[in-house]
Amino acid sequence: MSDTQTFLLDGEEIPFAPGQTVIQAALAAGHYIPHLCYHPEFKPHGSCKVCTVKVGNRTAASCTLPAQAGLEVESASDEMNDLRRTLVQMLFAEGNHFCPSCEKSGNCALQALGYDLGVMTAGFRHLFPDRPVDASHPDLLLDFNRCILCELCVRASCEVDGKCVFALSGRGIDKHLIVNAPSGRLEDTDVALTDKAVQVCPVGVILKKRVGFAQPIGARRYDASPISAQALADAPRAPAGDGRCAACEEAEEK
């Protein structure tokens, strides 16, 4: 145990294995850092910046920041959470997110993060973009109005499904999700219901047809417990009485 490397997260020692990022080590040790685009199955990307932490006098996305011995990281401060609330408010303002009528309500990571961070006001004038809805596929619907550009479906389709069905096009305010077909229509791609890309969308962009509201609102994932608790429940945890994370132990055994 004396050889275990650690860094400080809000004053607490966090053990880590070589190659882990700050957010990976934190979640494994039972410490939640708010995030949206981070997913343990994909290479970290740093798209949304919600997981931003402070290290010294600079900020960095904790999903791409390598864990290093002696690092002093600040995450749970008012300053960092104010920044996250602003980012979440921007995401709500940039798209069309009408939670009460959305099939993803209760299963939506953006909505759940807003609740978790205590977002109580709009913060910004909503843009109400006029984006298309692609209902061309027999089994899937794409509602581009809710896209937050997290690129989870892009990474899942390329890295797991091996299809690269989705991509982002444009820059700045014109950046948007597209599908890999000359027609631009989902029906002309080889996407399937079983694809990982269909499962990972954190908001209500990629929806399965004919199964709307099959699970009642009030009994959904984030209705049961907040997103912070869900993230920690899904992450590997160190055994009781042991300060090391499972990933650290595996690394030591190798």
Query: In this structure, is residue 230 part of a structural domain?
Result: no
Here the CATH number for the domain that contains residue 9 is 3.10.20.740
| Same-domain status, 204 and 246 | no
**Of 82, 57, 51, nearest to 72 (Cα)?**
57
At residue 114, φ and ψ (nearest 5 deg) are: -60, -45
The answer to whether residues 172 and 191 belong to one domain is: yes
Residues 239 and 208 in one domain: no
Q: Examine residue 229 and state whether it is found in any structural domain, yes or no.
A: no
**Residue in the structure block whose two tokens are 């390598």:** 66
Tell me how far apart the alpha carbons of residues 88 and 69 are, in angstroms, rounded to a whole number.
31
Residue 70 buriedness (CB in 10 A; 0-12 / 13-18 / 19+): exposed
pTM score of the predicted model: 0.89
Domain that holds residue 205: 83-224
**Same structural domain, 89 and 72:** no
Is residue 155 domain-shared with residue 211, that is, in the same domain? yes
Q: What span, in angstroms and rounded, lies between the C-alpha atoms of 47 and 37?
A: 6
Written as six digits, the tokens of 163 are 């299809």
Give tens-digit pLDDT for 165-205. 999 999 988 999 999 999 999 999 999 999 999 999 999 99
> How many independent structural domains does the chain possess?
2
Quick one: tokens of 209? 């047809």
Do 197 and 244 reside in the same domain of the chain?
A: no
Residue 133 has a pLDDT of 96
Please state, in angstroms and rounded to a whole number, the distance separating the CA atoms of residues 190 and 209: 17
**In-domain check, residue 125:** yes
Lowest mean pLDDT among 137-151, 154-168, 228-242: 228-242
Q: Please tell me the predicted confidence (pLDDT) of residue 217.
A: 87
Q: What is the CATH number of the domain that holds 218?
A: 3.30.70.20
**DSSP-derived 3-state class of residue 74:** strand
Q: Give, in order, the Cα–Cα distances in Å from 74 to each of 26, 172, 178, 185, 187.
A: 12, 29, 36, 44, 46
Strand, helix or coil at 35? coil
- Which residues, at least 6 apart from 174, have a Cβ–Cβ distance to it below 8 Å? none
Task: Summarize pLDDT for 53-108 with one digit per residue, the tens.
Answer: 999 999 999 999 999 999 999 999 999 999 999 999 999 999 999 999 999 999 99
Average pLDDT taken over every residue of the chain: 91
* Total length of the chain: 254
Residue 209 has pLDDT above 60, yes or no: yes
The three-class DSSP label of residue 88 is helix
- Sequence-distant (≥ 6) Cβ neighbours of residue 244 within 8 angstroms: 1, 4, 15, 238
State the greatest distance between any 2 C-alpha atoms of the chain, in Å, as a whole number: 59
Same domain assignment for residues 173 and 190:
yes
**Do the beta carbons of residue 87 and residue 51 sit within 8 Å?**
no
